[in-house]
Every structure is written in C-alpha cells, then in structure tokens.
C-alpha cells in the first residue's frame, strides 16, 4: 500500500454525510459505528465523526486572487477525474463556493480547482494540475 492520507473531521449526522460522500462523490464506505463512518476518497481515508459543526468559515486564504476558506481539505485528481467530478457535483446541484476554474493560467503550477461544502458545511477543494511534476514546485 502506498502512503494513504487519513483525515478525521466533524459532521452533523451520518445520513446526510452518506448522501454526500457516497451518492455524490462516489466514495466507498468503510467501517462505521453509530457515531462515525470511514470513506475511501480517491484512495485516502476520511473518518467522519458526529459532532458540533457550528463553525464560521474564514475566507482568509487568498490564492491567485480568489478568497478560499481556511481550513479546508481536499484531493488532487487527474484531469479526467476532475471533469467527471465537476459534472457530478453540478448534476447533483451542489453549490460551489468556488466554481470550477483554472488558477495560475499559463504559469508554472497551472491547475483546475473547485470548492464545495459538504452537507455539514465542511469546505472541500478538488484540484488537478496541468503538469503533475509541478505539484510541489516553487
């Protein structure tokens, strides 16, 4: 197994969490109890725990002129995965907090990006680099 990222976070309930992560994002469900559930998000382990999610989003991140919420989590996808997921999110009428767009166009690190909120209000970014060798470029 390659290095898999694990992220535990809070959600308001498991029913709407399953609807978002399974029905819309197409995640596979892993282990679960009546208070948490694990998902496979593009090969990474998300662990959603029921808790207090009443937090105000802080759009303090400014990336290529666009304000983004901090903190957030997300996934790097291939170009085709990004396009397919953007279409699934649009078809499910999920509200984008940053609509699919290209960032750093024509520059090193060019990438497609989009932000959505899950049904508990957690901000999630999905992005795809034009050149995957530039993911950690400076």
| Integer Cα distance of 24 and 90 in angstroms | 10
Task: Tell me where in the chain the CATH 3.10.180.10 domain(s) lie.
Answer: 61-133
With beta carbons less than 8 A apart as the criterion, state whether 6 and 40 touch: no
Nearby residues of 12 by Cβ (< 8 Å), 6 or more positions away: 50, 53, 119, 120, 121
pLDDT over 90 (residue 68): yes
Reading the block at residue 50, the tokens are 């029921």
With beta carbons less than 8 A apart as the criterion, state whether 112 and 82 touch: yes
Question: pLDDT for 31-58, tens place per residue?
Answer: 999 999 999 999 999 999 999 998 889 9
61-133: CATH superfamily:
2,3-Dihydroxybiphenyl 1,2-Dioxygenase, domain 1 (3.10.180.10)
Q: What is the pTM of this model?
A: 0.92
Class of the CATH-defined domain 6-50: alpha beta
3-state secondary structure of 14: helix
Give the pLDDT score at 76.
Answer: 95
Task: Tell me where in the chain the CATH 3.30.720.120 domain(s) lie.
Answer: 6-50
């Amino acid at each position: 197994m390659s290095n898999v990222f694990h992220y535990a976070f809070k959600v308001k309930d498991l029913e709407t969490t399953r609807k978002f992560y399974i029905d819309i994002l197409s995640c596979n469900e892993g282990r679960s109890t009546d208070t948490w559930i694990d998902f496979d998000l593009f090969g990474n382990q998300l662990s959603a725990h029921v808790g207090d999610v009443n937090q105000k989003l802080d759009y303090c991140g400014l990336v290529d002129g666009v304000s983004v919420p901090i903190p957030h989590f997300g996934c790097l996808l291939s170009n085709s995965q990004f396009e397919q997921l953007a279409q699934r999110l649009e078809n499910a009428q999920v509200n984008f907090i940053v609509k699919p767009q290209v960032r750093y166009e024509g520059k090193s690190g060019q990438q497609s990006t989009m932000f959505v909120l899950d049904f508990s209000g957690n901000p999630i970014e999905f992005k795809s680099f034009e050149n995957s060798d530039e993911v950690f470029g400076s």
